[in-house]
């Protein structure tokens, strides 16, 4: 059995790859030999990340795609089939959140629906488009959140979508097992990213209560989520499917009321 994290000659498709967890994951795959397809609506950033990966000595392609749109997702799959043939890995990482626009009762309906369209139906669209192309078997990793297991106020369809991803993963794990495709979920906690991880990070006073609850006393980095994702896609996880791996620095298991008034992150980066 191969116990290495080696993805040479594999084709990895990563959605939401222009920033945050998706970006870190795409670069990690490229650094370990995979050819990487980056999928995102942000063309400028996506092309920059693709260039970074190409400089690692592997093939990389950015495809501008709104995964909430089924037709765009099918077009993306057609391009991948033409350019790369068989994909081996799909990481569904694209996600949005409008936590500043209300809750389940009063958020504008178009935003409420958009969250579900991107965070849940976008994953479904990508699986429906790409799983039939994975003729050699492979791995699918869906990015959920600890908010799929517990709720941060205000509650919106964001939490609904992240919970739905857990059910989607289990259903797909059963359905795709006969095709030798493993399907798992990574559920990140408080992660310092350019996107949703930064929403509540504008002021230190806002972050401190979160840091006090996290036993490791800091938010995670996108690269620290990429690692577990790569594990699920490697031969090390060949007998794991339908599982959820929480990566939150111990946030959910901690019932301690407070770690103290002054929080000094373990790492020097003030954003953590």
Report pLDDT for 271: 57
Report pLDDT for 261: 52
- CATH of region 11-195+221-247: 3.40.50.720
Element (H, E) at 23: helix 20-31
Element (H, E) at 22: helix 20-31
Handedness of CA 120, 121, 126, 127 (dihedral sign): positive
Report pLDDT for 205: 62
How far apart CA 219 and CA 249 sit, in angstroms, is: 8
3-class DSSP state for residue 136? Answer: coil
Overall size of the chain counted in residues: 272
Strands (E), the chain: 11-15, 35-40, 60-64, 89-92, 138-143, 181-188, 191-192, 220-221, 244-247
HSE, side-chain direction, 13 A CA sphere, residue 245: 20
How far apart CA 145 and CA 161 sit, in angstroms, is: 10
How far apart CA 70 and CA 118 sit, in angstroms, is: 11
Q: Which DSSP state fits 118?
A: I
Q: Which residue in 121, 123, 158, 251 is the catalytic one?
A: 158
End-to-end Cα spacing for the chain? 37
How far apart CA 156 and CA 98 sit, in angstroms, is: 8
Segment among 43-47, 102-106, 118-122, 243-247 with least mean pLDDT: 102-106
Judged on CB neighbours under 10 Å (0-12, 13-18, 19+), 193 is buried
pLDDT tops 80 at residue 96: yes
pLDDT, one tens digit per residue, over 162-180 is: 999 999 999 999 999 999 9
How far apart CA 67 and CA 231 sit, in angstroms, is: 25
How far apart CA 238 and CA 216 sit, in angstroms, is: 30
Dihedrals phi, psi of 175, to nearest 5 degrees: -65, -35
Judged on CB neighbours under 10 Å (0-12, 13-18, 19+), 44 is exposed
HSE, side-chain direction, 13 A CA sphere, residue 144: 30
pLDDT tops 50 at residue 201: no
pLDDT, one tens digit per residue, over 39-81 is: 999 999 999 999 999 999 999 999 999 999 999 999 999 999 9
Asked if 158 is an active-site residue, the reply is yes
Contacts of 165 by beta carbon, 8 Å cutoff, 6+ apart: 92, 119, 120, 123, 142, 143, 144, 148, 185
pLDDT, one tens digit per residue, over 231-258 is: 999 999 999 999 999 999 999 999 887 6
């Amino acid at each position: 059995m191969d116990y290495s994290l080696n993805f040479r000659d594999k084709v990895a498709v990563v959605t939401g790859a222009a920033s945050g967890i998706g970006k870190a994951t795409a670069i990690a795959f490229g650094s370990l030999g995979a050819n990487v397809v980056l999928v995102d609506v942000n063309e400028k950033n996506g092309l920059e990340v693709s260039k970074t990966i190409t400089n690692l000595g592997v093939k990389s392609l950015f495809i501008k795609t709104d995964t909430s749109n089924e037709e765009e997702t099918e077009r993306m799959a057609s391009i991948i089939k033409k350019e790369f043939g068989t994909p081996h890995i799909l990481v569904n990482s694209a996600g949005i959140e409008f936590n500043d626009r209300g809750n389940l009762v009063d958020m504008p309906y178009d935003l409420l629906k958009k969250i579900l369209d991107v965070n849940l139906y976008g994953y479904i669209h990508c699986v429906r488009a790409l799983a039939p192309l994975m003729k050699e078997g492979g791995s699918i990793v869906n990015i959920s959140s600890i908010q799929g297991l517990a709720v941060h106020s205000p509650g919106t369809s964001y939490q609904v979508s992240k919970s739905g991803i857990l059910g989607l993963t289990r259903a797909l794990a059963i359905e795709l097992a006969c095709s030798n495709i493993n399907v798992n979920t990574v559920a990140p906690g408080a992660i310092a990213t350019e996107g949703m991880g930064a929403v509540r990070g504008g002021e230190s006073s806002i972050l401190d209560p979160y840091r006090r609850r996290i036993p490791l006393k800091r938010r995670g980095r996108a690269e620290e989520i990429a690692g577990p994702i790569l594990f699920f896609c490697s031969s090390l996880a060949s007998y794991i499917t339908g599982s959820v791996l929480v990566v939150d620095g111990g946030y959910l298991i901690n019932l301690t009321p407070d770690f103290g008034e002054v929080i000094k992150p373990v790492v020097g980066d003030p954003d953590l």
